[in-house]
Structure 1
Amino acid sequence: MKLRQLQYVLEIYRNGNHMTAAADVLHTSQPGISKQIQQLEAELGFEVFARQRNKIVGVTEPGREVIAIAQRMLADAERLRHLGETFSKTSAGSLTVATTHTHARYVLPQVIERFVREYPEVRLVLMQESPVQIRELVAAGSADIAIGTEPEKAFPSLVALPGVVLPRSVVAKAGHPILKAKPLTLHEIAKYPILTHGHSGNWKVLGAFRKAGIEPNVVFGALDADVSKTYVKLGLGIAVLTTAAFSAEDDRGLRAIDASHLFPSSTTYIALRANTYLRGFAYDFINFMAPELTPDVVKAALIRPSSGHSGEV
């Protein structure tokens, strides 16, 4: 049994059981991977992957145990490779953070400012994508940490730790009648054209209306809060945004009223690969954002077998 064979197993699993995609990621040939997997299965005495007409269609029950063990073994191997570097050079290296627009724009600036100040030798890379895409980047090993709200898609290979809670507000142009609504209700909001934003935000906002049996007049769905606010200023409607996305100082001409009693909040999750190796400065980055997520808490959460669920804790 070779670590390379276990790496092949994990990469196939991470790529949706597509051997060709795994071969592309590993820069090797599909026949070569297939041969190594067959040798591993012959040594183990059972099939890791379920097949139909020689095509992989899933993971067998014992195969799931192989994946869990492979994750731990490869993570330990990575720790061994980095052990000397950890003790000799604790404040240098690189950290790639995948995040969404809202978090990059409104949640992370102070965290990044502090991190850059305390770790000037660390190369910090910020990648901006949707909640699903940022977790895909971490699952594929292209990013170390994903920071964003919970996506509708599950990621069994990741551990997601809850961080900042993001309540919602209604944002309107100064003088808009919605600002005088007391109490603020879903029926009152639904009287006006609505601009939504984001990915997880859209389904949570619209879900609140559906639950109440109300059909809102959504006229625009932007991918970021800044675009939504631009069109609110133009008088196209009102917006339902995370409260963190509004600043009385920066958003002159606009007003915000709390709507946390009407719409569910979004939780910011810090997503990491299970059983992964993190440098000390990565633990600090997480702790700067969520003080309750100490290195010991994060390490304890990361050490777990693959369980087939999304990993939210």
Structure 2
Amino acid sequence: MNLHQFKFVQEAVKRNLNLTETAKALYTSQPGISKAILELEEELGIDIFVRHGKRLKRVTDPGQHVLKSVDVILREVANLKRIGEEFSKQDAGRLSIAATHTQARYVLPEPVAMLRKRFPKVMVSLHQGTPEQVAAMLLDDSADIGLATESLADFDELITLPCYEWQHVVVMPRDHPLAEVERITLEHLAAVPLISYQPAFTGRKRIDQAFAQRRLTPSIVLEAIDSDVIKTYVRSGLGVGIVAEMAMAGEPLQGDLIAKPALHLFGQNTSRVAFRKGAYLRSYVLSFAELLSDRLTRPLIERALSGSGDSYDL
């Protein structure tokens, strides 16, 4: 049996069993259609149609069941064609990105803008969440690509690649006493109210670990997922902030806040890009990944997705 036979049966029913009209609709010959339907009936071992001579009169009871199956098969074939058309149009479609707030706010704007210039027919859908939510969106196909610092490497179903490294900075008003300290220590920070990220976000685990290793208990008076919120409360005098360095990139050099490096306190953090194992990545998804980091090349990503490796050194 083949798809041509299924199409002939379906079209014959649509044309009220008129094989002449069926042949015209399908641009083929009436004898060819009759032969194909007879061959299908012979293979199935049933009559799909009741005949009067060479003319089809009605659909048999078993033929009704055949028609239902034929409809399902041809509908799924049409779906396959649509999927093929969608994925073959590499310069058009939707790019769904899952990221934490810090990545979405400070890292993604430039590469997203560059992608839109390169692929103007691609619509970008940006989803924000915790690192665990980013992973979940990748796993249920809600997102094509994910970006976060924590947790992504903990999921076996994901391919994760390091994207870039960054450090925390200590933020304070320009007139704060710590602004005069050249090299801030954990002891300095443990002595003042602190404002930083919630535990699941933006390298907070490293901050907690650093204090714990020195047996210090910091006074964290406010937690947030948004670096801008942290800076707002630092400006209000609530405490000293600990934020990702990229959150200070847009601050004026002579503004009301100053930032001091904290690499020596909390070490480096690595943000990772992630894809679901076995995912088909359209060309513009790979191009976007390359825009995130010059270390993320198309051959590297394709090699990782094929199972030939999922990590490399920055």
Give TM-score, length-normalised by structure 1: 0.69
Residues 141 and 180 (structure 1), Cα distance of their counterparts in 2 relative to 1, 3 Å cut: same
Residues 188 and 150 (structure 1), Cα distance of their counterparts in 2 relative to 1, 3 Å cut: same
1:123-172 per-position Cα deviation (integer Å, ceiling 9, x unaligned): 11000111111111101111111111122882110011100212110000
1-structure distance, mates of 2:96, 2:152: 23
2-structure distance, mates of 1:204, 1:80: 49
SS of residue in 2 equivalent to 1:90: coil
2-structure distance, mates of 1:158, 1:174: 43
Structure 1 runs of 4+ aligned residues shifted over 3 Å read 79-87
Instruction: Determine which of 259, 262, 271 is the counterpart of 2:265.
Output: 262
2-structure distance, mates of 1:103, 1:152: 14
1:245 aligns with 2:223: no
Instruction: Determine which of 224, 232, 235 is the counterpart of 2:234.
Output: 232
1:20-99 maps to which residues of 2 (within 5 A)? 87=88, 89-99=89-99
SS of residue in 1 equivalent to 2:265: coil
Which has the higher mean CA deviation after the structures are superposed, 192-201 or 139-148? 192-201
Residues 262 and 231 (structure 1), Cα distance of their counterparts in 2 relative to 1, 3 Å cut: same
Q: With CA pairs under 8 Å and 6+ residues apart, which has the higher RCO, 1 or 2? A: 1
Match in the other structure for 1:221: 223
Aligned amino acid, residue 196 of structure 1? S
1:264-295 per-position Cα deviation (integer Å, ceiling 9, x unaligned): 22211111011211000000000001111111
Aligned amino acid, residue 160 of structure 2? A
Residues 204 and 312 (structure 1), Cα distance of their counterparts in 2 relative to 1, 3 Å cut: farther
Residues 253 and 193 (structure 1), Cα distance of their counterparts in 2 relative to 1, 3 Å cut: same
SS of residue in 2 equivalent to 1:235: coil
Instruction: Determine which of 209, 212, 217 is the counterpart of 1:210.
Output: 212
Match in the other structure for 1:43: none
The answer to whether the Cα contact below 8 Å between 1:161 and 1:269 also exists between their aligned partners in 2 is yes
What is the deviation of 1:83?
5.7
Residues 149 and 80 (structure 1), Cα distance of their counterparts in 2 relative to 1, 3 Å cut: farther
Identity %: 32
Match in the other structure for 2:286: 283
The answer to whether the Cα contact below 8 Å between 1:94 and 1:122 also exists between their aligned partners in 2 is yes
Match in the other structure for 2:297: 294
What is the deviation of 1:174?
1.2
1-structure distance, mates of 2:125, 2:152: 26
What is the deviation of 1:191?
1.3
Aligned amino acid, residue 134 of structure 1? V
Aligned amino acid, residue 188 of structure 2? E
1:181-240 per-position Cα deviation (integer Å, ceiling 9, x unaligned): 132111111111001114242221111111111111111111111111111000010011
Match in the other structure for 1:102: 102
Match in the other structure for 1:113: 113
* Alpha-carbon RMSD: 2.5
Residues 109 and 218 (structure 1), Cα distance of their counterparts in 2 relative to 1, 3 Å cut: same
Aligned amino acid, residue 293 of structure 2? A
Aligned amino acid, residue 222 of structure 1? A
Residues 188 and 148 (structure 1), Cα distance of their counterparts in 2 relative to 1, 3 Å cut: same
SS of residue in 2 equivalent to 1:226: helix
The answer to whether the Cα contact below 8 Å between 1:132 and 1:153 also exists between their aligned partners in 2 is no
Match in the other structure for 1:127: 127
What is the deviation of 1:90?
2.1
Aligned amino acid, residue 182 of structure 1? E
1:69-110 per-position Cα deviation (integer Å, ceiling 9, x unaligned): xxxxxxxxxx998666555x2200111000111011111111
2-structure distance, mates of 1:299, 1:193: 47
1-structure distance, mates of 2:270, 2:214: 22
Match in the other structure for 1:273: 276
Aligned amino acid, residue 285 of structure 1? F
Match in the other structure for 1:182: 182
2-structure distance, mates of 1:107, 1:243: 11
Residues 243 and 284 (structure 1), Cα distance of their counterparts in 2 relative to 1, 3 Å cut: same
Structure 2 unaligned regions, length at least 5:
1-79
Structure 1 unaligned regions, length at least 5:
1-78
2-structure distance, mates of 1:299, 1:182: 46
Larger radius of gyration: 2
The answer to whether the Cα contact below 8 Å between 2:153 and 2:160 also exists between their aligned partners in 1 is no
Match in the other structure for 1:71: none
What is the deviation of 1:178?
1.1
Which has the higher mean CA deviation after the structures are superposed, 182-191 or 242-251? 242-251
The answer to whether the Cα contact below 8 Å between 2:164 and 2:270 also exists between their aligned partners in 1 is yes
Give TM-score, length-normalised by structure 2: 0.68
Which has the higher mean CA deviation after the structures are superposed, 122-131 or 247-256? 247-256
